[in-house]
Amino acid sequence: MTPILPGSTLGVLGSGQLGRMFAIAARRMGYRVHTFSPDSDTPTGQVADVEVVRPYEDLDAVREFSRNVSVVTFEFENVPAATAQAAADCTLVRPNGAVLHTTQHRLREKTFLSTHGFPTTPFRAVRSLEDLRTAVQELKLPAVLKTASFGYDGKGQSTVRTPAEAEAALGKDPAVERIYEAFVDFDREVSVVAARGVDGAFAHWGVIENTHNNHILDLSISPADVPLNVAKEAVRIARGILEALDVIGVLCVEYFLTRSGKLLVNELAPRPHNSGHLTIDAHVTSQFEQQLRAVCGLPLGSTRQHSPAAMANLLGDLWRDGEPDWAAACANDETKLHLYGKAEARPGRKMGHLTCLAPTPAQAAQTAVAARKTLLRR
Ligand code: AMP
């Protein structure tokens, strides 16, 4: 099949920072970008050629949008299935809608993983109080109870330690579909961001170590300090998942690494991922350029790493005492500042990130944390 070449127009469903960084990569390579979401003056819209502001449920608008682009991709996986289908009726959609359907629902995702033999923590579907009681008996406590849909950054999620806590976590509506997961006493969390091309070519950026704060990614360090056999296994599992889902594009696999050195898949994101932002500054080809190459049917680029790196997220909380001190963060000449163009800095909102390069991953992490601290005006 002939690739979609520079000069063509690419469509992005969703308009956040992931779409923005994709659009920057696309425009650098001479593509035009259209974005579709319910919001205006968005991180993606600010750098796109065209920003369509319509609800995802407006399928006529989705069709019109799709007819004007050579391929539609996503930066947000909670796009309704009907929206992805309407786009697919009019143009290429990559990754395909089935990938979205599987990964936007925690129960479908974990069921897919376990039926294909990928390791996960034991889980049960909970659709009633009775289901919950059975799950507590079978999988024991502590556990994590999560809503099956629309959860991210720890939203719709509670850790429960007693039967009473578990029942209270169902709240007013026990019929909301949930997943009950055995609690993983993990040593650390790691991710593999990987890409698969139209021809089945596979690329990855190795294993990245992630730490969270209030369930939101705080710091990513690359490469992760894990034994070689663990790194190889994490990449092998990721490759298997991209192949089983027939992904064309980028997908991130988030893992727990248990204290006994076992990898368990926690979550999939069928798009570039926050933990892969450091690939912009630390690798020959970033996750965003790779997404573009994959969805356009171009050969994948090298993922060779120039330097160990760490990425620190900049949340809205940093604006508490006024505009952060950007000049101070730029004082370290191996620090790169990325801001997403969001007007309103709310606590917990991802406003930007810093990437620091250093001779070792530990030094990069230290520099990133220190650079972020200098942003706060005292
Ligand atoms: P998630 O939204 O599923 O990515 O979960 C957000 C964070 O909650 C994860 O990064 C973990 O730190 C924690 N978490 C989620 N599921 C579990 C689990 N089954 N056991 C222990 N911690 C969990």
C-alpha separations of 233 from 118, 119, 191, 236, 356 in Å: 11, 11, 12, 5, 27
Residue 151 in contact with ligand 1 by CB distance below 6 A: yes
Residue 266 in contact with ligand 1 by CB distance below 6 A: yes
With 70 as the cut, is the pLDDT of residue 65 above it? yes
Contact 36, 12 (CB under 8 A): yes
Instruction: Determine the Cα–Cα distance for residues 357 and 223; give it in Å rounded to an integer.
Output: 12
Distance 151 CA to ligand 1 centre (A): 11
Q: Which atom of ligand 1 is nearest to the CA of 181?
A: 19
Distance 123 CA to ligand 1 centre (A): 13
Contact 309, 353 (CB under 8 A): no
Q: What is the pLDDT of residue 81?
A: 87
Q: Which atom of ligand 1 is nearest to the CA of 185?
A: 21
With 80 as the cut, is the pLDDT of residue 80 above it? yes
Distance 144 CA to ligand 1 centre (A): 8
Residue 131 in contact with ligand 1 by CB distance below 6 A: no
Residue 120 in contact with ligand 1 by CB distance below 6 A: no
Distance 110 CA to ligand 1 centre (A): 13
Distance 191 CA to ligand 1 centre (A): 13
Q: What is the pLDDT of residue 152?
A: 63
For atom 12 of ligand 1, the residue with the nearest CA is: 215
Instruction: Determine the Cα–Cα distance for residues 234 and 232; give it in Å rounded to an integer.
Output: 5
**Closest of 30, 1, 18 to residue 10, by C-alpha:** 30
Residue 343 pLDDT level (bands cut at 50, 70, 90): very high
Widest distance between CA atoms in the chain: 59
Residue 154 in contact with ligand 1 by CB distance below 6 A: yes
Residue 144 in contact with ligand 1 by CB distance below 6 A: yes
Contact 216, 232 (CB under 8 A): no
Written as one string, the DSSP assignment of 146-174 is EESBS--TTTTEEEE-SHHHHHHHTTT-T
* 264 strand-pairing partners: 256
Beta strand 157-160 with 202-213 is unpaired
Phi, psi of 31 (to 5 degrees): -90, 160
State which of 124, 144, 208, 258 you would mutate to test the pocket of ligand 1, scoring each by most atoms of that ligand within 8 A of its C-beta: 144
Number of helices (H), then strands (E), belonging to the chain: the values are: 12, 17
Q: What is the pLDDT of residue 191?
A: 98
Q: What is the pLDDT of residue 77?
A: 84
State which of 158, 255, 256 you would mutate to test the pocket of ligand 1, scoring each by most atoms of that ligand within 8 A of its C-beta: 256
With 90 as the cut, is the pLDDT of residue 124 above it? yes
Distance 293 CA to ligand 1 centre (A): 31
For atom 1 of ligand 1, the residue with the nearest CA is: 154
Task: Name 119's Cβ contacts closer than 8 Å, sequence gap at least 6.
Answer: 113, 237, 262, 263, 264, 265
Instruction: Determine the Cα–Cα distance for residues 59 and 82; give it in Å rounded to an integer.
Output: 8
pLDDT in tens, 344-356: 999 999 999 999 9
What single DSSP character describes residue 240?
H
Instruction: Determine the Cα–Cα distance for residues 47 and 20; give it in Å rounded to an integer.
Output: 6
* pLDDT, mean of residues 76-89: 93
Residue 275 in contact with ligand 1 by CB distance below 6 A: no
pTM beyond 0.95: yes
For atom 10 of ligand 1, the residue with the nearest CA is: 215
Q: What is the pLDDT of residue 154?
A: 65
Find the angle CA(70)-CA(240)-CA(13) to the nearest 5 degrees. 30
For atom 8 of ligand 1, the residue with the nearest CA is: 215
pLDDT in tens, 157-211: 899 999 999 999 998 888 999 999 999 999 999 999 999 999 999 999 999 999 9
Residue 274 in contact with ligand 1 by CB distance below 6 A: no
